[in-house]
Chain A
Amino acid sequence: HGVSRVAGSQTRSDQAREKELQHITRYNELVELIAETQYTVEVLNLTTKLLTENPEYYTIWNHRRRVLQHLFPTQAESASLSSDSHQTTLDLITADLSLTTSLLRQYPKCYWLWNHRYWALQVGEARLQVAAARKLWQGELQLVTIMLGADSRNFHAWSYRRFVVGELERIPAQPDEAIHSKQSQSMTEAEFAYTTKMIKANLSNFSAWHNRSKLIPKLLDERDSDDAERRHMLDNEFALIHEAFLDPFDQSIWYYHQFLMGTLSSRNSRESAIILDLTDNDQKRYCEQEINFIKEILEDEEECKWVYEVLLQYSTSFPSLKGNESVITSDDLREWLSKLRGLDPLRNGRWTDIERTLDLQSKGLVSQ
């Protein structure tokens, strides 16, 4: 959002063509070898060469995985837990993690690199001792933190981070020990603090806000929060997002505000719930409070389309606001719509649609 992706150079010189012909030759060689089920180290190296130049070529990643499966010590060998075979497996996995790490530096958003790492770690967990496997996952958390340091808005990294945290919470820290309670290994508190840090560093971080929205319900459950504490959390989050209203042009804060408002809806799922004992009065109170806060923004900033969009959206979604002329008058609605038409003329159809809906609502009171 607002940050352009740097495109590689598109010029095709003779040199580039030559290189490509070489690739095609090598690839064809590779395919033959695979067809002959020649799963050797040489073939592995061939895939390394090809993938280093084009990591997006997912078929080659598939080939590579086949080769590696073949190169791993057999189940019988691993079953004996001989340190040699363990080491071989670990070395192969570590090598692949290194390869993808260095490629991720150049192509931090390549799906196949993240997938391959996931595969490598799954294999690691299946074949390695628990302690070694857990160490690999901790390495993953470090990697993803570094990648987020370099580009805090890389949603691949954020998604992967959630996944890694999930795995670390799942794999026991002590071998042969089952997890007694969720709390003992939960990383939710730390992850929640991490989103706070990332937001303070850059408000426009869609993924950080999104992650936060996923963590809060979980956090409340883990803390065994009572109703008062839950309300406190919601109030704090609204207070935080109100501070972020200093820049209403930042779309990401509106997504988070919509999440918070979403938790007030009767259709909200238990998984994403914050307050569990929401009454109709509560909903009315929160809605009115929020509408007023948002309307205040218009005193300072009239040209921000997100503000009008959000106001209209809430007006139509919450029963306590629909037709509630004490908070939102029909004049308000008409004014916001006309502002939107001016600010975003390409979506005229949508605004007309909303207008129709709203008019129907207000006209609907007149019986036929």
Chain B
Amino acid sequence: MESLDGTDWDVLIVGTGLPQSLLATALSRSGKKILHIDRNNYYGGSEAAFSLQEAEDWSRNVAKDGSSSATFTNVSVHRPEASETDSAKLSSSRAYSLSLSPQLIYTRSRILPVLVSSKVHRQIDFLAVGAWWVYTPGNIAEEDSQVRTGNAVGQGTLRKVPNGREDIFAAQDLDMKSKRALMKFLRFIGEYEEQGEVWEGHGQTSFSAFLSGQFRVPAALHAPLLALTLSSSDADHTTTEFALPRIARHLRSIGSLGPGFGSVIPKWGGLSELCQVGCRAGAVGGAVYVLGNGLTGPATDERPSDGATTETVTTPDPLKVVLKDGESVTTRWIVGSSDDLEPLQTSQHEPVEGTPLAEPKLCSRSITIVSSSLEALFPPMAEGAPIPAGAVVFFPSGSLNSRKENDAKPTLPPVYVFVHSSDTGECPPNQRVLYASVAMTGDVAVRLLERAVQALLSSKNLQPQPIVLWSLRYEQTSQITQHKESAASARTASPDERILVFPPTSLDLAWDDSVLDQVKGVWRSIMGDDGGEFMVFEDREGVGADDEGDEL
């Protein structure tokens, strides 16, 4: 491979995370000279998917080289002792594609039509997310038995969240008053924007209080509605103005791409697949891809020495930057995530517009491979509906703790577990992957995640109890962390407008279209007014338009 030293580019994209990959697609027809690098040996950055071996390597690298990734910390892998009687065994490393970003994508998200209009959708298979469940603990154990068994709670059950009127109609365990209260709320949420008088005064109040006060929804039924918000706070701290649009999004998305489901997940490893496809589109458009290469040192101006400048709005004067092996390249634009651009040690250009409010900044996550199909979690959702490949389990705040613990501590955040079937290609048949997440870090968080997984596997719905084959734990932050050196270095220069920064990956469990807005903002800076329509392309020659978009 030829050396990059001395090469000149229009755009240098650093990191192959999702925003950068989408940008590569957006620029793929522009004719610009693009160099797209990633310091890892794999695509996807914070949205990557790993085989078992890759996950274990990653765990070692993060521990060894802490500064290289401010986003992920405390990564550890656990392989339980396999007993001889266990019929289920871990398969080979490459049979797994574990996602660091198992976000679900609501079917009304703007990213889906964008993938279609940019013609990359045919390379992606989307699978339906089906039932949502709320964990209800069994008898809350007393302190003694907790010490003995190590479990905080007795055997719990999973209750399915009703997806709409007909589910509520069919529910056997609700009385008429509760059903009518839920229906009234359902009717309201369908057009809540036009009923401001009902909720605008209560925007900041807790969603629970709103449900009880305005709709007389009994407290026992708050959890299923709260689950739909994917809120990282408990019921009392989730505001009404946060909850309403998210529940509306959930309910309005059902049926829009097909009966029985309202959100999808990409096959083969979550958002990593979108990164792969995005970069591929970039490559087809002429961009040069180099893995295992990253930035070192700050960027310097490379204005022509005779003072003559060819600078225009979309072709600013070049910057020079040095890569890992000492190669120096010049470019008009540098784009990356704040993590990837950290070596530049510039003050951060304001993150591009559209960062969503109220998202969690820190979380603890785990990925667990289990030995059974967990069939009960994937019931068919409707006549003619595709078989779901994902399920969501919500553990309300406090449901994983003993009474004593609940009294002693301040309220803990809820835990979410996304269950993915082997249809996603993330694991072999007859195994499942559990992605657990909680919006806090530390030992308490790790325990919560463990308990959630245990509680799920031992719940009454899923007997006989499945076995854990392997698990990965890590912590993730979406805050921009400044390294000591760069903090100390002079912040004299105003942010360089040629360096465009994407904010860190959102920790929201559902895809947020604001990422798309960020990519568009960067694209517009680079392309100016001559870019044509964002992400709207014609098929390239030789590519057919025969098949329909989403394969389900």
Contacts and interface: CB of A to CB of B under 8 A. Distances in A.
B166 A300 contact: no
A287 B383 CA distance: 37
A297 B180 contact: yes
| Interface-central residue, B166, B169, B177, B182, by most chain A CB under 10 Å | B169
Contact of B184 (A202, A296, A300): A300
A300 B170 CA distance: 20
B198 to A, nearest CB: 12
Nearest to B180: A300
Given A202-B166, A246-B168, A149 B184 contact: no
| Interface-central residue, B166, B181, B382, by most chain A CB under 10 Å | B166
Nearest to A240: B169
Nearest to B382: A201
Contacts of A296: 176
Contacts of A249: 187
B165 interface: yes
A200 B169 contact: yes
Contacts of A201: 166, 382-383
Contacts of A300: 177, 180-181, 184, 216
Contacts of B165: 203, 246-247
A244 interface: yes
Contacts of A58: none
Nearest to A198: B383
Interface string B161-172: 000011011100
B361 interface: no
B165 to A, nearest CB: 6
Contacts of B180: 245-246, 248, 297, 300-301
A243 interface: yes
A85 B247 CA distance: 63
Given A149-B384, A201-B382, A300-B184, A245 B176 contact: yes
Interface string A298-332: 00110000000000000000000000000000000
Contacts of B179: 246
Contacts, number: 40
A149 B181 contact: no
A38 B165 CA distance: 58
Interface string B268-308: 00000000000000000000000000000000000000000
Interface string A228-257: 000000000000001111111100000000
Nearest to A152: B383
B179 to A, nearest CB: 4
Nearest to A299: B177
B383 A203 contact: no
Contacts of A244: 169
Interface in A241-287: 242-249
A248 B183 CA distance: 9
A121 B170 CA distance: 39
Contacts of A149: 383-384
A75 to B, nearest CB: 45
Nearest to A300: B180
Given A149-B383, A246-B179, A297-B180, A200 B166 contact: yes
Contacts of B169: 200, 203, 243-244, 246
B183 A246 contact: yes
Interface in B455-511: none
A245 B180 CA distance: 8
Nearest to B168: A246
Nearest to B179: A246
A201 B169 CA distance: 10
A149 B383 CA distance: 8
B256 to A, nearest CB: 15
Nearest to B178: A246
A248 to B, nearest CB: 8
Contacts of B177: 300
Given A200-B169, A203-B166, A247 B183 contact: yes
Contacts of A297: 180
A243 B178 CA distance: 12
| Interface-central residue, A242, A244, A247, A296, by most chain B CB under 10 Å | A247
A245 B176 CA distance: 8
Interface in A201-230: 201-203
Interface string B184-224: 10010000000000000000000000000000100000000
B184 A301 contact: yes
A242 B176 CA distance: 9
B176 A246 contact: yes
A246 B171 CA distance: 11
Interface in A101-141: none
B183 A200 contact: no
A304 to B, nearest CB: 10
Nearest to B215: A300
B299 to A, nearest CB: 53
Interface string A141-154: 00000000100000
A58 to B, nearest CB: 33
A311 to B, nearest CB: 17
A255 B180 CA distance: 19
Contacts of A200: 166, 169-170
Contacts of A248: 180
Contacts of A301: 180, 184
Contacts of A243: 169, 176
Interface string B362-382: 000000000000000000001
Interface in B388-426: none
Interface in B117-173: 165-166, 168-170
Contacts of A203: 165-166, 169
Please give me the 10 A-B residue pairs with the lowest Cβ-Cβ distance, nearest first: A246-B179, A300-B180, A246-B183, A247-B183, A246-B180, A247-B165, A246-B169, A203-B169, A149-B384, A246-B168
Given A245-B180, A301-B184, 9 more contacts: A201-B382, A243-B169, A246-B168, A246-B179, A247-B183, A247-B187, A249-B187, A300-B177, A300-B181
24 contacts: A200-B166, A200-B169, A200-B170, A201-B382, A201-B383, A202-B166, A203-B165, A243-B169, A244-B169, A245-B176, A245-B180, A246-B169, A246-B176, A246-B180, A246-B183, A247-B165, A247-B183, A248-B180, A296-B176, A297-B180, A300-B177, A300-B181, A300-B216, A301-B180
